[in-house]
């Protein structure tokens, strides 16, 4: 699964753009949408709403580890798609038509993978070849610790050699046996091809060369491209970003996060765009986006595609009357409150499992699902969502999971571990120490059970959800102060903290709720909760968790996956939250938007087109 953070909106798939997701009175039931049919009209502009409070800020497709803004993927995925494309209609599977390979075969006990690339071309007419793969591989081999999507022990660190028998064949030798499905679905699906004949350079004025073929050269190219990728003013003008292999080019980018795609007329893939442009427009608040939707499809600022906050589902009949169709799409990811186990003030408190258990017992997830998200949400029972991939449901995630809402249980648990519980107030440690019945190592007598939770501002759903969490935690005497920040500020100022490194400059946060971590086809915890996982922001560490995650990566046993899932649900590396569906709106004369899977909704406008109205 990816190692990026995304903002949850009630349109989380739109946070794809996503990257990707109070209810009162009567509500309208959302269905699966309508498959629009009719005579295709060439051309036209589609305007897609971006979620409130977030926007991309980096164009280089190999995102640095220091920038976990998941919206950057949304910006570039149409121009430089990954080798493996996921999502095929409603199916959460590999899409063979749009993937860049024609075959992937495994041999030598799953230690060698042979990949044959399709005979496609870059937008400047130059053929795509295996040299473009080795360019990406060389950059990552020399710099993988600075690559956001690196999984410890995985590509490219697990590669012992790469050979290219011909212009379209790549043979990758690995240092251990892999689970082929996991490697395809969760590793290669984050590796793009990049044009070596354009990007293999150390400066804008220097010549293109083969610098990547030495470690020093690969580091120099990487540093140059990373620096250039941050220059928002040159996203549409720099020669580095003009040659693409996807169906789209990035034609417009503005400092407020607005950007637009226009067709790559030389696209070799199966779906040459029918539209003339796709524009992605940001909003500062949910209310601003909903007001634009309510203005209707004929207004000058009309949205073609948008999302509906779940506290506004009662407006669906009005929006349908304005010319929109509506569908609900589940979110493939896990939403959470992330505890910083190495915060200098209260890290010792959060490292106690019983504390996290009590906090989870005090989260009224049924209330959040029904009241905040109008019933359109995964229940948040554990590490793996149960709504989009029922084949992954384990015994621990049935019902409401191992920690259903139970304030009495939470209070008893805190009292049994040395806390003076003050419902509606703030608990304090009454029995300091590390023995049975004590508060735990590093917790001092009189220390309060109080935290500050940072969250991504701009979403009405977030505001209501977090206020409800604050209220129910108080029932057990756990005081949570809420502090909202713009999403980009939140992810830029809160870093990864662990036992080895927790500098105050980036690890002073205590709890954060930024949205969700998206999953790929196999919802493994790799990168999230293994000790050295690049997205293990809170510093959770367990040898047992490491072992179980490794078994999901290197083996193919479903029992091993369920063992990991059950352990993660019970051990609470994070506090699990409901993950809302996307309520997806689109003009009723726009075809191709449905059917959609959680992995490609709003990310595949190359298959969209307008239709002529029926006579």
Angstrom distance (rounded) from CA 459 to CA 472: 20
- Which of 135-139, 141-145, 341-345, 582-586 is predicted with the least confidence, judged by mean pLDDT? 582-586
- Local confidence band at 391 (pLDDT 50, 70, 90 cut-offs): low
307 and 291 in one domain? yes
Residue 281 included in any domain: yes
The owner of tokens 């036992």 is 499
- Domain range for 282: 12-79+229-331+581-611
pLDDT at 129: 98
Residue 120 included in any domain: no
347 and 322 in one domain? no
pTM of the model: 0.75
Residue 28 has pLDDT above 60, yes or no: no
290 and 426 in one domain? no
pLDDT at 286: 85
Q: How many structural domains comprise the chain?
A: 2
411 and 516 in one domain? yes
477 near 449, Cβ under 8 Å?
Answer: yes
Residue 173 included in any domain: no
The owner of tokens 């003008």 is 237
pLDDT at 14: 31
- CA–CA–CA angle 600, 606, 610 (5° rounding): 110
- Number of neighbours of residue 415 by Cβ within 10 angstroms: 14
pLDDT at 11: 35
Residue 73 included in any domain: yes
550 and 595 in one domain? no
pLDDT at 3: 41
Residue 64 included in any domain: yes
Higher pLDDT, 351 or 532: 351
Within 8 A by CB and 6+ apart from 82, the residues are 100, 188, 189, 190, 191, 192
Strand partners, 590: 610
Strand partners, 378: 579
pLDDT at 554: 74
- What are the b/e assignments for 118-136, b being 16+ CB within 10 Å? eebebbeeeebbbbbbbbb
Burial class (CB in 10 A: 0-12, 13-18, 19+), 559: exposed
Residue 435 included in any domain: yes
384 and 291 in one domain? no
3-class DSSP state of 185: helix
Residue 591 has pLDDT above 70, yes or no: yes
521 and 544 in one domain? yes
pLDDT at 613: 67
pLDDT digits (tens, 9 = 90+) for 457-504: 888 888 999 999 999 999 999 999 999 988 878 887 888 899 999 998
The owner of tokens 């739109």 is 14
173-178 contacts, C-beta under 8 A, 24 or more apart: 173/111, 173/112, 174/111, 174/112, 174/113, 175/111, 176/111, 176/554, 177/109, 177/110, 177/111, 177/554, 178/106, 178/110, 178/111, 178/113, 178/553, 178/554
536 and 449 in one domain? yes
Residue 234 included in any domain: yes
For residues 121-142, average pLDDT: 98
pLDDT at 451: 98
- Alpha carbon distances (Å) from 382 to 50, 112, 287: 28, 34, 31
The most confident of 312-316, 360-364, 452-456, by mean pLDDT: 360-364
Give the domain CATH number at 235: 3.40.190.10
pLDDT at 35: 56
pLDDT digits (tens, 9 = 90+) for 238-287: 999 999 999 999 999 998 889 999 999 999 999 899 999 999 999 888 88
605 and 502 in one domain? no
First CA to last CA distance, the chain = 47
For residues 343-372, average pLDDT: 97
What is the Cα 261 distance to its own chain's centre?
Answer: 21
Higher pLDDT, 223 or 528: 223
What is the Cα 128 distance to its own chain's centre?
Answer: 28
Residue 132 has pLDDT above 50, yes or no: yes
In the 8-state DSSP scheme, what is residue 239?
G
Instruction: At 475, list the tokens.
Output: 């029932």
Q: Within 13 Å and on the Cβ side, how many CA atoms surround 273? A: 25
pLDDT digits (tens, 9 = 90+) for 566-589: 999 999 999 999 999 888 899 999
Angstrom distance (rounded) from CA 413 to CA 583: 38
Residue 157 included in any domain: no
- Local confidence band at 4 (pLDDT 50, 70, 90 cut-offs): very low
- Alpha carbon distances (Å) from 33 to 233, 304, 325, 589, 612: 39, 15, 6, 13, 19
Q: Percent of the chain scored above 70 by pLDDT?
A: 90
Angstrom distance (rounded) from CA 406 to CA 403: 8
For residues 297-310, average pLDDT: 84
pLDDT at 145: 92
322 and 346 in one domain? no
- Number of neighbours of residue 246 by Cβ within 10 angstroms: 24
**DSSP per residue over 54-123, as a string?**
-------SS-BTT--BTHHHHHHTTTS-BSS-EEETTEEEE-TTTSSEEEEEEETTTTEEEEEE---B-T
444 and 417 in one domain? yes
Q: Percent of the chain scored above 90 by pLDDT?
A: 62
pLDDT at 136: 98
- Which of 14-23, 133-142, 231-240, 389-398 is predicted with the least confidence, judged by mean pLDDT? 14-23
Question: What is the residue-averaged pLDDT of the chain?
Answer: 88
415 and 499 in one domain? yes
pLDDT at 31: 39
Angstrom distance (rounded) from CA 3 to CA 64: 11
Give the domain CATH number at 361: 3.10.105.10
- Local confidence band at 333 (pLDDT 50, 70, 90 cut-offs): confident
pLDDT at 385: 86
Question: Where is 136: in which H helix or E strand?
Answer: helix 130-143
- Local confidence band at 2 (pLDDT 50, 70, 90 cut-offs): very low
- Local confidence band at 90 (pLDDT 50, 70, 90 cut-offs): low
Residue 549 has pLDDT above 80, yes or no: yes
């Amino acid at each position: 699964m990816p190692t990026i953070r995304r903002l949850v909106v009630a349109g989380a798939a739109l946070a794809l753009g996503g990257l990707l997701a109070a209810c009162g009175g009567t509500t309208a039931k959302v269905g699966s949408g309508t498959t629009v049919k009719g005579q295709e009209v060439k051309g036209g502009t589609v305007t897609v709403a971006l979620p409130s409070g977030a926007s991309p800020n980096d164009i280089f497709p190999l995102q640095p580890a220091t920038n976990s803004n998941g919206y950057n993927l949304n910006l570039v995925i149409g121009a430089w798609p990954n080798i493996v494309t996921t999502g095929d209609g409603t199916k959460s599977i590999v899409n063979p038509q749009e993937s860049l390979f024609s075959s992937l075969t495994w041999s030598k006990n799953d230690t060698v993978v042979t990949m044959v690339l399709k005979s496609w071309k870059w937008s400047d007419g130059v053929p795509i070849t295996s040299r473009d793969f080795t360019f990406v591989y060389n950059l990552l081999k020399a710099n993988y610790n600075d690559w956001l999507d690196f999984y410890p022990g995985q590509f490219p660190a697990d590669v012992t050699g790469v050979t290219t028998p011909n212009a379209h064949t790549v043979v990758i030798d690995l240092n251990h046996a892999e689970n082929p499905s996991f490697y395809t679905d969760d590793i290669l699906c984050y590796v793009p091809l990049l044009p070596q004949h354009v990007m293999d350079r150390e400066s804008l004025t220097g010549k293109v060369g083969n610098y990547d073929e030495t470690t020093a050269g690969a580091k120099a190219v990487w540093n140059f491209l990373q620096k250039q990728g941050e220059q928002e003013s040159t996203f549409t003008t720099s020669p580095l970003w003009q040659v693409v292999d996807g169906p789209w080019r990035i034609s417009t980018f503005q400092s407020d996060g607005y950007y637009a795609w226009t067709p790559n007329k030389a696209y070799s893939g199966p779906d040459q765009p029918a539209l003339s442009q796709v524009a992605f427009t940001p909003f500062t608040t949910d209310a601003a986006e909903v007001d634009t939707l309510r203005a209707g499809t004929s207004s000058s600022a009309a949205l073609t595609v948008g999302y509906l906050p779940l506290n506004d589902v009662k407006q669906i009949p009005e929006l349908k009357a304005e010319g929109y169709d509506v569908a609900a799409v589940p979110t493939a990811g896990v939403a959470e409150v992330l505890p910083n186990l190495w915060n200098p003030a209260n890290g010792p408190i959060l490292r106690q499992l019983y504390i996290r258990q009590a906090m989870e017992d005090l989260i009224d997830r049924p209330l959040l699902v029904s009241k905040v998200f109008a019933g359109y949400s995964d229940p948040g029972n554990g590490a793996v969502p149960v709504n989009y991939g029922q084949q992954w449901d384990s015994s621990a995630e049935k019902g409401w999971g191992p920690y259903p809402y139970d304030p009495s249980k939470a209070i008893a648990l805190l009292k049994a571990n040395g806390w003076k519980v003050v419902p509606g107030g703030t608990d304090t440690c009454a029995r300091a120490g590390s023995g049975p019945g004590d508060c735990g190592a590093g917790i001092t007598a009189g220390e309060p059970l109080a935290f500050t939770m940072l969250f991504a501002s701009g979403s009405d759903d977030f505001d209501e959800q977090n206020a409800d969490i604050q209220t129910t935690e108080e029932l057990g005497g756990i005081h949570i102060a809420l502090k909202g920040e713009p999403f980009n500020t939140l992810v830029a100022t809160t870093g990864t903290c662990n036992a080895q490194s927790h500098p105050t400059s980036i690890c002073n946060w205590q709890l954060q709720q930024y949205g969700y971590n998206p999953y790929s086809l196999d919802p493994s915890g790799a990168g999230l909760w293994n000790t050295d996982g690049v997205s293990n922001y809170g510093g959770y560490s367990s040898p047992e968790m490491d072992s179980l995650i490794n078994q999901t990566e290197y083996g193919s046993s479903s029992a091993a996956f369920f063992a990991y899932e059950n352990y993660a649900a019970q051990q609470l590396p994070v506090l699990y939250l409901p993950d809302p569906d996307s309520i997806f709106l689109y003009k009723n004369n726009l075809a191709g938007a449905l059917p959609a899977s959680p992995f490609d909704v709003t990310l595949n406008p190359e298959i969209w087109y307008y239709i002529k109205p029926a006579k």
